[in-house]
Amino acid sequence: MNNQFNAVQVVDATGLACPLPLLKLKLGLNQLASGEVIQLLATDAGSQRDVVSFAKLAGHRLVNQQQQDGVFSYWLAKA
């Protein structure tokens, strides 16, 4: 997965089960300024539901999401 959306931080949560990918994403977002993009890599299928719901609830913008070779990749712009 490349960094085509100019993420300033990449959170690698591959191999971790729910809720750890989402927790690592939240911790990463806390370090960013508004508008900056973070990329999350996860292998937990539940992350598809969790990340989309979290972004909506927290007001972050889901820039893109992809799946390749069992790895889910999400790019979020911090609110």
Ordered by start, the domain boundaries in the chain are 9-78
| 32 and 60 Cβ atoms separated by less than 8 Å | no
The residues annotated with a catalytic role in the active site are 18
First to last CA, the chain: 24
The tokens for 74 are 């999400």
Phi, psi of 22 (to 5 degrees): -70, -40
Write out pLDDT tens, residues 35-75: 999 999 999 999 999 999 999 999 999 999 999 999 999 99
Kindly report the pTM of this predicted structure.
Answer: 0.93
Is residue 29's pLDDT more than 90? Answer: yes
Question: What does each C-alpha distance from 58 to 13, 20, 28, 79 come to in angstroms?
Answer: 20, 17, 14, 8
User: Does the domain made of 9-78 have the CATH classification 3.30.110.40?
Assistant: yes
Question: What does each C-alpha distance from 17 to 3, 4, 44, 77 come to in angstroms?
Answer: 23, 26, 6, 23
